[in-house]
C-alpha cells in the first residue's frame, strides 16, 4: 500500500492529460468513451472541467460552457447533449439535441473550482449555473417533507441503485429495470417549455440528489456572494436533516420507497454528509466508509453496504467490491 501512495505526481498529471486529450471532441467536451458513450453527460463534464483546469488547460471552461449550452428558458439543464448528432435519441426523449431529464447540478461546484484556480469565469456561465440551480430549488416539485423530487432514476446519477428496487415489480433485474426506466420517460410532467417538473409514476426524492443540490448552491454562492439560492438551499438542508436513520447510519429517500428500498445503505445515500450540520453523523458515516465490514475497501468504498441483501460484489451499481491487496 505504501508503494502505491508513493507515486510521481508529475507522471500522474501527464497521464491524466493524455487520457483527457485522447477523449476530447472538437465540439467542446470530453467523451467518456468514444465508442460506447460518445455524447456529453452533464455531471461528467463538470468534473472534466475541474480536471482540465487543474492541468492549466482552457478546455475546462470550454467544456462547462458546452454543457450549459443546451439549457432551456426555465433553467433546466439536460443530462445529455447530442451536439454531434442532434437526432440520435429523439425517439426516447421526444426532442432533438438533448435529453429531457437532468443530473446532479455539479456546475455550481465546477464554477467555484474554476474560480478558485484563477479562471475568469464569464458572467453568462455563472448566470447559467445559478439559473439551473434556481430551477431545481424553486420550480421542481417537492414531495412531502420538502425534498426536491426526481423525475427519473437517471437524474440521481445512480442509475441502478438498490434504492430503486421498490419501483421494479417482481424484483430487480437489469432487463426488466431497463424496460421500466425507458417507460418512465413518458410519464414525466413538464413545463410549457418541456422542463421536467415531476413524475407521478416515480414518486421519489433522493437524499443524495438533494444533498448535491444544496452543496452546489452553496459552492456557487461562495463565488458570487449572492444568497438568494442559498437561503432556499439552507431550507432544503433542514429537510434533509430529518431523513437521517440513526440505526442504519444513512439518510433515507422520501416518496413511495421511503419505508422500503429507499432506506438501502448505498453510497448515494451518504452524500448528505457534504452538507450535514451534525458532526456526529459525519463521523459515523466516515467510520463506515473505512470499515471493511461496511463499505471500506482497499481501492475505495463499495457502492452498497456489504450487509445489504442486494449487495453484489461483481455488479456495477449493486456493490462492485474494490480490488484486493
Give the per-residue pLDDT at 108: 98
How confident is the prediction along the chain (325 residues), in pLDDT tens digits per residue?
444 455 688 899 999 999 999 999 999 999 999 899 999 999 999 999 999 999 999 999 999 999 999 999 999 999 999 999 999 999 999 999 999 999 999 999 999 999 999 999 999 999 999 999 999 999 999 999 999 999 999 999 999 999 999 999 999 999 999 999 999 999 999 999 999 999 999 999 999 999 999 999 999 999 999 988 999 999 999 999 999 999 999 999 999 999 999 999 999 999 999 999 999 999 999 999 999 999 999 889 999 999 999 899 988 889 887 554 4
Nearest Cα to Cα of residue 207 among 118, 286, 146, 298: 146
DSSP notation for 116-160: HTT----HHHHHHHHHHHHIIIIIS-B-TTSPBPPSSGGGGT-TT
Nearest Cα to Cα of residue 271 among 109, 30, 33, 152: 109
Give the per-residue pLDDT at 107: 98
H/E element holding 15?
Answer: helix 9-23
> 456493490: which residue's cell?
319
Class of the domain covering 73-277 = mainly alpha
3-state secondary structure of 228: helix
Nearest Cα to Cα of residue 134 among 47, 41, 244, 216: 216
The whole-angstrom distance between residue 11's C-alpha and the CA centroid of its chain comes to: 29
pTM for this prediction: 0.95
Give the per-residue pLDDT at 220: 98
Give the per-residue pLDDT at 1: 43
CB of 147 within 8 A of CB of 254?
Answer: yes
Give the per-residue pLDDT at 296: 95
Residue 139 burial (C-beta neighbours within 10 Å; 0-12, 13-18, 19+): middle
Gap between the Cα atoms of 178 and 165, Å rounded: 12
Half-sphere exposure of 151 (CA within 13 A, CB side): 25
> 452546489: which residue's cell?
216
Give the per-residue pLDDT at 40: 98
- Please report, for the chain, the start and end positions of each structural domain, with discontinuous segments joined by +: 73-277, 291-325
Give the per-residue pLDDT at 325: 41
Nearest Cα to Cα of residue 101 among 151, 166, 176: 151
Amino acid at each position: 500500500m505504501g508503494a502505491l501512495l508513493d507515486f510521481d505526481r508529475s507522471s500522474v498529471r501527464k497521464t491524466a492529460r493524455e487520457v483527457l486529450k485522447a477523449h476530447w471532441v472538437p465540439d467542446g467536451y470530453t467523451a467518456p468513451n468514444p465508442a460506447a458513450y460518445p455524447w456529453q453527460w452533464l455531471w461528467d463534464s463538470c468534473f472534466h472541467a475541474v480536471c482540465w483546469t487543474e492541468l492549466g488547460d482552457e478546455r475546462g471552461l470550454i467544456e462547462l460552457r458546452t454543457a450549459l449550452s443546451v439549457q432551456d428558458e426555465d433553467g433546466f439543464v439536460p443530462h445529455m447533449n447530442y451536439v454531434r448528432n442532434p437526432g440520435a435519441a429523439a425517439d426516447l426523449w421526444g426532442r432533438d439535441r438533448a435529453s429531457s431529464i437532468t443530473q446532479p447540478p455539479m456546475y455550481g461546484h465546477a464554477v467555484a473550482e474554476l474560480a478558485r484556480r484563477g479562471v475568469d469565469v464569464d458572467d453568462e456561465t455563472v448566470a447559467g449555473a445559478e439559473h439551473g440551480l434556481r430551477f431545481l430549488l424553486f420550480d421542481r416539485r417537492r414531495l412531502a417533507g420538502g425534498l426536491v423530487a426526481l423525475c427519473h432514476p437517471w437524474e440521481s446519477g445512480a442509475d441502478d441503485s438498490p434504492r430503486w428496487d421498490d419501483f421494479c415489480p417482481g424484483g430487480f433485474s437489469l432487463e426488466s429495470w431497463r424496460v421500466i426506466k425507458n417507460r418512465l420517460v413518458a410519464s414525466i410532467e413538464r413545463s410549457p417549455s418541456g422542463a421536467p417538473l415531476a413524475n407521478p409514476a416515480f414518486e421519489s426524492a433522493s437524499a443524495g440528489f438533494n444533498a448535491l443540490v444544496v452543496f452546489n448552491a452553496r459552492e456557487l454562492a461562495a463565488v458570487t456572494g449572492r444568497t438568494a439560492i442559498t437561503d432556499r438551499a439552507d431550507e432544503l438542508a433542514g429537510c434533509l436533516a430529518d431523513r437521517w436513520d440513526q440505526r442504519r447510519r444513512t439518510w433515507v429517500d422520501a416518496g413511495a420507497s421511503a419505508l422500503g428500498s429507499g432506506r438501502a445503505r448505498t453510497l448515494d445515500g451518504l452524500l448528505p454528509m457534504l452538507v450535514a450540520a451534525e458532526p456526529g453523523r459525519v463521523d459515523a458515516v466516515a467510520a463506515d466508509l473505512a470499515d471493511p465490514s461496511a463499505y471500506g475497501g482497499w481501492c475505495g468504498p463499495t457502492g452498497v453496504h456489504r450487509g445489504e441483501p442486494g449487495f453484489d460484489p461483481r455488479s456495477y451499481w449493486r456493490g462492485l467490491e474494490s480490488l484486493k491487496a
